[in-house]
Every structure is written in C-alpha cells, then in structure tokens.
Amino acid sequence: MHAVGIVAAAGSGSRLGADRPKALVPLAGRPLVRWAVDGLLAGGVTEVVVTIPAAHRAEFEAVLPAGVLVVEGGATRTASVRAGLAAADPAATAVLVHDAARPLTPPDVVARVLTALAAGAPAVVPVLPVVDTTVLVGEDGVIAEAVPRAPLRRVQTPQGFDLQTLVRAYAALPDGAELTDDAAVVRAAGVPVITVPGDERSAKVTVSHDLTLAELAVTLDGPSGTVAR
C-alpha cells in the first residue's frame, strides 16, 4: 500500500516550557519529530510530510532523514494538517496523520492502522480504554454526573484514512474550523471511523513530566517495540 505520513510538528509546545518548538526537543538525544518520523517509516509508511513552524525550517531539515518533505504549518493543528495534506503525493492510496508529540509510538501500531486500511476501512484510529472513574464537572467545580467508562476510549495517532476521503473531508470543513484530531474531520463528513488497539507507549508528550517518563522508558526498555537503533 502506498501510504503517506503527515507528521504535525508545527506546535509551539508552550506547555512543555522548552526553549524551542516541542518537536525539536530531544528525547535520548533525538528530537521528538525524528522519533515520530522513524516510527512511521518502520511501520510501513512509504513517504513523510512534516509540518513545521515557519521560523525553524533549517533546524527541522537538519534533523530529518533525506526524502522527508518539510512544509509550513498553520496557526492550529487543523490548519497544519491541511497544509501537509496539500503537499502529499496525490497518487498515494492512504494517509496516516501523526503527532510529533507521540515519539515512542511502536511501529506495530502503525502496521495495525495500515492493515485495517488495506482491508477497506476508510478511516482508522488507535484507541485505549479509560481506566479512571470519569465524571462531568459543572462550572461550580461540583460533579454533575458520572459517565459510564466502559464504552469510553482515548484516541491516539497515527490516524489512517483513505487519502481521497480525508482530502474531501478537509475540503468540506469550513475555513477556521478547529478540531483536535482528523477522525473528527471525517466524522463531520459522515465517514465511519473504525478503531484498532493503541499502545500506552504512544503517550503524548505535553508537559515536562511526560518527557521525563519517555526518557525513562527509553532508558529502561530501550526503544523496544519502536525503531531499532
């Protein structure tokens, strides 16, 4: 399957408090964006587009493997993915949209998403169960109601799509609409989204504690299940 990967890496990472864009922050000596790109390639994606903050092109190009296309992202993740999609090879059959902020995503997860697409699913997301008690809290800070957690899932990336399905869904999305993931974009266009098992190692790096945990994971386990280095 000819699958193109889009890595959203244009965020500032202000919640991480780093001195550079989050995607350039090193994990075990390797920038987060490089981990994410290598994981996609190891899982079966054949080419990659990375969306970056415009002011940092040279730093990104210096750390990415040859052949990776670098394009300027936008002010929101939705705008960034739109830019990546516009640069993707239209001859590809499938597209996997991934967050640079999920550096340790095992290639097995990428392969599961690709397998489901190859079997005919138009849209596929990796998910994990919710293990905590989950509640709705009112503006007064008081619990309004408990939410049954059994059917709840946490949605991860990479999210896979038939390329033309995602292109059409973004084209139908009003300018300025901002959604937190791409499954929401195709669902807005009426496309069913199937789920495959995600992986705790795909955890998103948002605050500095997440980076500490990722460093520990690489130190203790090695990049096992991720890319052999």
Using the minimum distance from each CB to ligand C5P, give the nearer residue, 80 or 156.
80
How far apart, in whole angstroms, are the C-alpha atoms of residue 206 and residue 186?
Answer: 25
Quick one: 126 exposed, middle or buried, by C-beta within 10 A (0-12, 13-18, 19+)? Answer: buried
Stretches 58-66, 70-78, 111-119, 129-137: which one binds ligand C5P (CB under 6 A)? 70-78
Question: Hey, what are 157's tokens?
Answer: 């990336």
Using the minimum distance from each CB to ligand C5P, give the nearer residue, 8 or 110.
8
Stretches 8-16, 56-64, 164-172, 211-219: which one binds ligand C5P (CB under 6 A)? 8-16
Angle value at C-alpha 65, between 61 and 47, nearest 5 degrees? 110
Q: What residues from 93 to 112 belong to the interface with ligand C5P (CB under 6 A)? A: 99-101
Of 3, 4, 10, 185, the residue at the interface with ligand C5P (CB under 6 A) is: 10
- 74 binds ligand C5P per the rule CB under 6 A: yes
Quickly count: other Cβ atoms within 10 Å of residue 152's Cβ: 14
Residue window 162-201: x/- pattern of binding to ligand C5P, with contact defined by CB under 6 A:
----------------------------------------
Of 25, 43, 49, 51, the residue at the interface with ligand C5P (CB under 6 A) is: 51
Nearest approach in angstroms of CB 146 to ligand C5P is 27
Size of interface with ligand C5P, in residues (CB under 6 A) = 17
Applying CB under 6 A, the residues found at the interface with ligand C5P are 8-11, 22-23, 51, 73-77, 80, 99-101, 206
